[in-house]
A and B are shown apart, each in its own frame.
Chain A
């Protein structure tokens, strides 16, 4: 185990090198400090402690100047331990760490503030915690004060600050220390919305300036849009590393599968008496025995990516002879929106059943749903919809995971396309009847003929 820290980085050298780093913790109990325990430990120095655990098992990572690395992973996967090893707060149990250059962290904003000192005094104090001297802080002082936006409060002891002001000042100092490497750990979840926006803007600005960032976040969208590389840490190991889109997709699939497995354990068997989500009712002249959500290969799955093929496969069994039935399905968003409900009658599909048992597919060649949790209902009823044979209300969870090729926000990709912008003069040409847009009332015409006086305000 070696840790090497140098204050400056030579050009071409990596800022951080982790080689097979592992870190052990011992679970603390109250007894561990007693004399008896000490006595025992003295004689069994090398005995394996059953209370030990390894938040990091074997992690190797290189961060070069200009990189922006996003670290993702579930809670307890070792992300924060990793940051603490890099900053030097904790030493590794095994492996080598090399850190070149000055590292600042947004681990805890305002951690070094002295409550009795004024904001201005604390700027100097905090700056020196990051290793900056007075001259360097003098140069940055005005910028920091302006950024924090505390006004006259800058000369008030920070113990009188609101928590928002406290964090704002902490962030302002940290962001202006101009480190070779900035570590960011979920701090952006503090402060009001306006301040969060400003934090994000600042971080994006640092990124554009080519600064090196290492960011731990649960906000996968931020990681995707900000980072040049993502690292997924799972159980103390690197599960995936590479382009953020790919890593995030792999991570999302894993999380979805994990949740599905948990849900399957918890979900009670479907009872016919229940109403609402998961309820089932009907005369069972035709029974839907089970339902599969399949991918293009026909393999059942519960998570899909936007743009993939989704096949909803209904297995039925006929118990009594009936006229050709209507099969239907519906997709609901988790907050209750009924998104779409096709059936065989709308589609004009012949549903004459040749056998008492069989299956029917509803094929969606390209899934247009966006990231989110959905539920599938299935039903079979008679043509007049006077008798329901079987109805499973939102009984089948469908998870759509994040796709790097997302088209927009919301629930559904309507698959429109943006056209390049057209200068105002040429809009008239389009209006004259050449393009498809010609049938739409143009902006200028609508304006002229508008009956609303609001449009005519100077």
Chain B
């Protein structure tokens, strides 16, 4: 089956891709409704409702200010609470999205087995629901940044673009992992560990410049900083967030372009992988 589709002439494959995307577009209302229902359902039985989306980063902010201002004041990084938040909020968005989109197909197994709709709707909606949350939290961050007198970059207008890039990257990851999770439930256990390691390998509570610049391995001197960014798209992403919000730097174009390309490749691969196996979800879930 796979060989046959690979051997098909290019125009037919292009047509198949465009048909798939058009179908996804026809189901955009489903994505929207799933996002709305997920966001609504999250706060359904809480007294404060969606205010929690605002309160949560505010509370984090408070905790960090107390810890790093009172208990542990000698940080080498100035304005450490907002430095931390600039990295932590995008990371939380990423981490929560990966977890919820990974399990989205299995969680909606009842629906997948009973009704037809383009299955990619589920992981996409899961990521977008987290995006809504992230954007609300970002509003709070903005206020905090103003209060703390952060150095906004004149290139701040790039912010929506970088959020879009991160979303694309996350959707790609979600599509790939949700497919894997349908066939191997081990994915979830493995990803718990991976996400923990990934968290520490991403410069969230430190800066890359604090790491040793080079590391000799079998006679080769590795450029740790460079490798860090190349191997970890989240490191580049968070660096860009910091450049725009905290450092007041215009950010490096090679960073920007490389991150965008990585995101597109991950999205493309994730979608291809998903589309290839989505047919079998109905029986495997």
Contacts and interface: CB of A to CB of B under 8 A. Distances in A.
Judge: A and B partners, yes or no.
Answer: yes
Nearest to B117: A129
B215 interface: no
A88 B33 contact: no
A129 B282 contact: no
A157 B26 CA distance: 27
Given A89-B282, A114-B37, A125-B33, A7 B113 contact: no
B32 interface: yes
B13 interface: no
A407 interface: no
A125 B34 contact: yes
Interface in A97-155: 103, 105, 107-108, 111-112, 114, 116-117, 121, 124-125, 127-134
A87 B115 contact: yes
Interface string B189-231: 0000000000000000000000000000000000000000000
A134 B36 CA distance: 13
Contact of A121 (B1, B40, B111): B40
A92 to B, nearest CB: 10
A84 B282 contact: yes
A112 B40 contact: no
Contact of B26 (A91, A116, A131): A131
A128 B33 contact: yes
A25 interface: yes
A62 interface: no
B41 A112 contact: no
**Band of interface residues on B:** 20 to 34
Contact of B40 (A87, A116, A128, A133): A116
B115 A111 contact: yes
Nearest to A26: B283
A33 interface: yes
**Band of interface residues on A:** 20 to 34
Nearest to A23: B283
Contacts of A133: 29
Interface string B265-285: 000000000000001101100
Interface string A62-97: 000000000000000000000010011111000000
Contacts of B116: 87-89, 103, 105
B114 A108 contact: yes
Contacts of B23: 5, 7
A118 B72 CA distance: 48
A88 B34 CA distance: 21
Contacts of A116: 37, 40-41, 44-45
B37 A117 contact: yes
Given A33-B184, A116-B44, A128-B32, A107 B114 contact: yes
B92 interface: no
A107 B33 contact: no
Interface in A387-426: none
A79 to B, nearest CB: 16
A353 interface: no
12 contacts: A1-B1, A87-B116, A103-B116, A111-B111, A111-B114, A114-B41, A121-B40, A125-B33, A128-B29, A129-B30, A129-B117, A131-B26
Interface of B: 1, 23, 26-27, 29-30, 32-34, 37, 40-41, 44-45, 110-117, 184, 279-280, 282-283
Lowest 10 CB-CB distances: which A-B pairs, in order?
Answer: A88-B116, A89-B282, A128-B30, A116-B41, A108-B114, A128-B29, A111-B114, A91-B279, A116-B44, A133-B29
